Chains A and B, each alone.
Chain A
Amino acid sequence: DVKVTQSSRYLVKRTGEKVFLECVQDMDHENMFWYRQDPGLGLRLIYFSYDVKMKEKGDIPEGYSVSREKKERFSLILESASTNQTSMYLCASSLGPGQGWDGYTFGSGTRLTVV
């Protein structure tokens, strides 16, 4: 089974801190995604990546950046954390269009609280 591992289950950070959320997948997936999940809003796409060093903005990229230096790792960066970024963050990966895409595999999530 594909595994998507998020490095932290719970994080508490202070306003203004730079925060790194790490995600690693172990099945050579081309695509990786970062979503945030908030009650009543479902999942909203922050950024995604088709390949190494490649990134695309999702629907809510403001205040975030990403890094994909290796195929298996996709990092989400909060440049200066704010309280409105308190949320559950979910990483997902998937095969690419040429690999036989059939949906996402999700990590267990990181619950970030910014105080």
Chain B
Amino acid sequence: AQSVTQPDIHITVSEGASLELRCNYSYGATPYLFWYVQSPGQGLQLLLKYFSGDTLVQGIKGFEAEFKRSQSSFNLRKPSVHWSDAAEYFCAVGARTGGFKTIFGAGTRLFVKA
């Protein structure tokens, strides 16, 4: 069965500092992997996805993520955080069968301090 773990409930970084949000997954085959972002009171927006190929994927808003099969990880990174990045971030794994059902992690809330 699929599962996703985001070890950090919340993270605080200074504006301009680098960011890494951790995600570990469990899945029996090569998964589809996603990062979504949710601003307060809003739905989720897709940041980036990994299906196959190059293990470093680029997304919107300057985010990138690296798929590491040996570590079952898909960590999200950004070299320089802006105050507008404050939000909740969800890692998700999608199955390649069964209707492409997606399982979400519990989320990591990012706080940005000036």
Contacts and interface: CB of A to CB of B under 8 A. Distances in A.
Q: Binding site of B, secondary structure by majority: helix, strand, loop or mixed?
A: strand
B99 A104 contact: no
Contact of B107 (A33, A42, A96, A103): A42
A112 interface: no
Contacts of B44: 43, 90, 92, 104, 106
B100 A94 contact: yes
A50 B105 CA distance: 23
A107 B99 CA distance: 20
B84 to A, nearest CB: 18
A104 B9 contact: no
Interface residues of A, number: 28
Given A48-B99, A108-B43, A43 B104 contact: yes
Nearest to B107: A42
B83 to A, nearest CB: 22
A71 B31 CA distance: 27
Interface string B71-114: 00000000000000000001000100001111111110000000
Interface of B: 4, 9, 32, 34, 36, 41-46, 49, 51, 90, 94, 99-107
